[in-house]
């Protein structure tokens, strides 16, 4: 009886195992096309993943022949298949393992594309597509052409940047090559003071904004980085970053609250600067005030700017000053060593005359020579009344 029960249980287990194996086999998916590079002989259902051979050419001309493969080797990218096929068909040297993709191959390929001098472009907005090669004047929307030598170096070492996605790693490699750092986009503190720029740190008069929003802005309007960061660029950026187009800069009412901020309305503890001219002067000279903290140094610089000469016709007029500090003055010679020193002057007008320490140097060339003697002889014998 025990033997019979054992046989029955073994039978049930075997049937269950066969059903499980059969179910698993029937549900296995993959590439079912035997002509594909990634053909899976065990796949029952095709999942659309089949990949086929393509012709890849070197990013740098002369680095090797064109190669037919399933994936791009290091230093190669996926070329326009119709054009590259016509080139290698007419010139087998371009794809021969013993040959090379030389200038003749490249010129024939470019001619097929309709280009004289194609260039590689990358997206402004990182992560929105791979680098691409396009013809002259055919710049794709949202793309720009950076330094070609550095870009070719990046594409040659990381094919992912051109075959899949231009990501942060690709951009960092390019920045390191062109600038020597991991760079960011910077925009002018005052609109129309220049275009957006990519650099290691903000130049004078620039600040480092939200990178996603500035990339979104320049992808939609290349004018903002090629010509000028104008009010249209600024409005598009603030719409993205703070949700309005008429955002303004606000400063804390006391030190230690935070940095100056660009907002649609003043946050608690913030106010509009009474003198925008002085605010922009302070943050242009000290980006810490806008990036990190509006501290006592920022406050003192702002206060110094707002107190000055308010008389607009004075030589030292301060357009940002709100309070006159009695410093208004006139132009004149301010050099104490000059014979015409003016103690009332606050602005030097370049009229200072220094006492001649070489009395016989009549032509003021700091040398007493024949020219000075001739000048002396010209007046020799004159009677002075």
Rounded Cα gap, residues 325 and 214, in angstroms: 41
For the record, the structure tokens of 191 come out as 């609109």
Residue linked to tokens 């802005």: 217
Query: HSE of 85 in the Cβ direction (CA atoms, 13 Å)?
Result: 5
DSSP SS3 for 177: helix
Judge residue 296's burial from the number of C-beta atoms within 10 Å of its C-beta, 0-12 exposed, 13-18 middle, 19 or more buried: exposed
List Cα–Cα distances, 135 to 55, 79, 299, in angstroms.
19, 13, 53
CB 156 within 8 A of CB 60: yes
Q: Rounded to whole angstroms, how far apart are CA atoms 358 and 212?
A: 66
More confident residue, 339 or 42: 42
Pairing relationship of beta strands 206-207 and 248-252 according to DSSP bridges:
unpaired
pTM beyond cutoff 0.85:
no
pLDDT at 204 over 70: yes
CB atoms within 10 A of CB 325: 13
- Mean confidence (pLDDT) of the chain: 85
pLDDT at 93: 96
* Distance in angstroms (rounded) separating the CA atoms of residues 109 and 94: 11
| Cα→Cα distances 168→14, 71, 142, Å | 53, 22, 16
DSSP string, 88-135: HHH-GGGT-TTS---HHHHHHHHHHHT-SS-EEEEESSTTSS--EEE-
Q: Using CA atoms, how far apart are residues 204 and 193, in angstroms rounded to an integer?
A: 11
How much is the pLDDT for 215?
93
Q: What is the DSSP letter of 334?
A: -
Domain limits of the chain? Answer: 22-49, 54-178
Asked which of 80-94, 137-151, 371-385 is least confident by mean pLDDT, the reply is 371-385
pLDDT at 5 over 80: no
Q: How far apart are CA 64 and CA 101, in angstroms?
A: 6
Q: What percent of the chain has pLDDT over 70?
A: 90
Residue 198's closest CA among 140, 189, 218? 218
First to last CA, the chain: 156
Locate 83 and state its tokens. 């054009």
64 closest CA partner among 110, 96, 112, 107: 96
- pLDDT value at position 188? 93
């Amino acid at each position: 009886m025990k033997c019979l029960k054992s046989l029955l249980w073994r039978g049930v287990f075997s049937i269950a195992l066969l059903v499980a194996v059969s179910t698993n086999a029937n549900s296995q998916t993959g590439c079912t096309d035997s002509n594909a590079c990634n053909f899976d002989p065990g796949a029952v259902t095709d999942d659309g993943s089949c990949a086929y051979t393509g012709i890849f050419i070197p990013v740098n001309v002369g680095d090797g022949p064109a190669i037919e493969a399933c994936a791009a080797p290091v230093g190669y990218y996926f070329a326009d298949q119709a054009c590259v096929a016509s080139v290698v068909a007419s010139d087998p040297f371009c794809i021969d393992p013993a040959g090379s993709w030389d200038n003749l191959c490249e010129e024939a390929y470019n001619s097929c594309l309709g280009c004289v001098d194609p260039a590689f472009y990358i997206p402004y907005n990182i992560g929105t597509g791979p680098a691409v090669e396009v013809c002259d004047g055919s710049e794709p929307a949202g793309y720009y052409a950076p330094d070609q030598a550095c870009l070719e170096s990046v594409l040659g070492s990381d094919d992912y940047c051109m075959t899949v996605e231009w990501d942060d790693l690709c951009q960092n490699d390019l920045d390191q090559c062109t600038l020597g750092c991991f760079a960011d986009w910077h925009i002018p503190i005052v609109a129309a003071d220049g275009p957006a720029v990519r650099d290691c740190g903000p130049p004078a008069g620039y600040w480092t904004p939200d990178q996603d929003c500035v990339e979104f802005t320049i992808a939609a309007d290349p004018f903002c980085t090629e010509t000028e960061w104008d009010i249209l660029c600024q409005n598009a950026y603030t719409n993205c970053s703070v949700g309005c187009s008429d955002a303004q800069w606000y400063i804390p009412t006391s030190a230690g609250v935070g940095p100056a901020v660009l907002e649609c309305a003043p946050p608690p503890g913030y106010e509009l600067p009474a003198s925008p001219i002085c605010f922009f002067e302070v943050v242009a000279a000290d980006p810490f005030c806008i990036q990190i903290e509006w501290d006592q140094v920022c406050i003192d610089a702002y206060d110094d700017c707002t107190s000055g000469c308010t008389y607009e016709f004075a030589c030292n007029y301060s357009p940002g000053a709100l309070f006159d500090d009695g410093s208004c003055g006139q132009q004149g010679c301010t050099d104490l060593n000059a014979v015409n020193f003016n103690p009332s002057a606050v602005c030097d007008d370049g009229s200072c005359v220094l006492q001649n320490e070489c009395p016989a140097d009549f032509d003021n060339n700091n040398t007493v020579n024949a020219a000075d003697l001739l000048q002396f002889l010209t007046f020799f014998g004159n009677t002075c009344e």
